[in-house]
Amino acid sequence: MTKYIYLVGSSIVKQWSNISDVSNKKIFNFGVSGFLTKSMLYKKYLKNLNIVNKSIIYPEYLIYYCGNNDLLHNINPNIVIKHIKTFLLYTQEMFEYKTKIVYLSLLRSPKKILQGYDELIDYINYHILLFCKLHNIIFVELNFLLNDRSDFVKDGVHLSNIGYNKVNNLLKIKKIF
């Protein structure tokens, strides 16, 4: 029986292309560059998650990464947290708690640190970590792992192949891939 993983979120997800190198599961990438956490709540986006190829699929895992673009738009971090929580709870219900939901921590990328967003990122991640513990959602901290300039491409925001490989290996160790 084929097992599925859904990737959802912003450009970090959209550009994540080397998963098939480490996973024997079927991957559906629903990443959209420029997405905000509010964008993840649009009915059309959510409907696409529930129906793939005109049939309802319950993925084994849904992996979520979104929120850094909100900071660029000066959206209040408490609103970002609210949107993330709403999406995570909604997808749990939508997939009838049959899908394990995984939250990837927001990245303290080199550019975000230079822009002074590191404390806001830590604030958001902390509040989502507490939420995940209460709601049986898997929280995966990435910042301990992705702390070298080589983990990011020249823009200082997006992951390089080295960075994606580190994430892939961590998720494989956690038996998600």
Is 85's pLDDT higher than 80?
A: yes
Q: What is the distance between the alpha carbons of residues 4 and 56, in angstroms, rounded to a whole number?
A: 12
Assess whether pLDDT exceeds 60 at residue 177: yes
CB-CB contact of 85 with 99 (8 Å): no
Looking at residue 54, its pLDDT comes to 57
Q: In angstroms, rounded to a whole number, what is the distance separating the alpha carbons of residues 159 and 146?
A: 9
Summarised one tens digit per residue, pLDDT across range 23-34 is 788 898 999 999
Q: Please tell me the number of Cα atoms within 13 Å of 137 on its side-chain side.
A: 28
**Confidence class for position 67, pLDDT limits 50, 70, 90:** very high
- Mean pLDDT score of the chain, rounded to an integer? 92
pLDDT, tens only, 41-66: 987 777 777 666 556 678 999 999 99
Three-class DSSP category at 136:
coil
What pLDDT, on the 0 to 100 scale, is given for residue 48? 74
Predicted pLDDT at 2: 77
Residues 146 and 110 sit within 8 Å (Cβ to Cβ) = no
Q: Residue 5 has what pLDDT?
A: 93
* CA–CA distance, 46 with 95 (Å, rounded to integer): 11
* Helices within 42-117 (DSSP H only): 43-50, 68-72, 77-94, 110-114
Per-residue pLDDT tens digits for 126-155: 999 999 999 999 999 999 999 899 999 999
Give, rounded to a whole angstrom, the gap between the first and last alpha carbons of the chain: 15
User: What is the model's pLDDT at position 140?
Assistant: 98
Which tokens hold the place of 51?
């129906």
Average pLDDT over residues 72-92: 96
**pTM to 2 decimals?**
0.93
What domains are defined for the chain? 4-173 (3.40.50.1110)
Are 38 and 83 in contact by the 8 Å Cβ rule? The answer is yes
Nearest in space to 77 (alpha carbons), one of 133, 118, 34: 118
> According to the model, what pLDDT value does residue 57 have?
77
